[in-house]
């Protein structure tokens, strides 16, 4: 099962990098929870696959390119945790002062929890 989880997470990241929303959601549980954590605080979250899909579609307008590269992966019976290098080019101005065309680079980690061989929770931390 760990190999299966690893492949599911790798497929999710590949789909994310390709702006492929349907590829991102294909292995998500109907009740999937997503949390973005910045500075130790949840600054965005969704509950349910439709809410996740809607946010993923909306996010297509944020970046002209984006890429997550897995630099480390840890697997357990119930979760996969990855460390990533992230780089994206902004497609629009952001409220934090970043401008269209700016390059966003950061390091982070994502934790994927599983239930019934599907991703039930994703936590992105940066």
User: Does residue 82 carry a pLDDT above 70?
Assistant: yes
The confidence score (pLDDT) of residue 1 equals 67
Average pLDDT, integer, range 62-73: 97
Tell which phi-psi region holds residue 95, choosing left (phi > 0), alpha (psi between -120 and 50) or beta.
alpha
80 vs 74: CA distance, rounded Å: 6
Q: Check: CATH 3.40.50.1240 for 2-125?
A: no
**Domains of the chain, residue spans:** 2-125
How are beta strands 63-75 and 28-38 bridged, if at all?
unpaired
pLDDT, residue 32, reads 98
pLDDT digits (tens, 9 = 90+) for 17-58: 999 999 999 999 999 999 999 989 999 999 999 999 999 999
The pLDDT of residue 63 is above 90: yes
Average pLDDT over residues 73-78: 92
């Amino acid at each position: 099962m760990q190999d299966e989880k690893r492949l599911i997470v790798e497929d999710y990241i590949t789909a994310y990098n390709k702006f492929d929303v349907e590829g991102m959601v294909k292995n998500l549980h109907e009740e999937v929870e997503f949390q973005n954590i910045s500075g130790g605080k949840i600054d965005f979250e969704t509950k349910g696959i439709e809410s996740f899909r809607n946010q993923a579609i909306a996010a297509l307008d944020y970046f002209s390119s984006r890429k997550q590269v897995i630099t480390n992966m840890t697997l357990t019976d119930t979760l996969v945790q990855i460390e990533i290098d992230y780089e994206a080019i902004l497609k629009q101005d952001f409220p934090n002062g970043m401008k269209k065309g700016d390059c966003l680079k950061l390091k982070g980690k994502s934790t994927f929890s599983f239930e019934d061989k599907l991703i039930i929770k994703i936590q992105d931390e940066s």
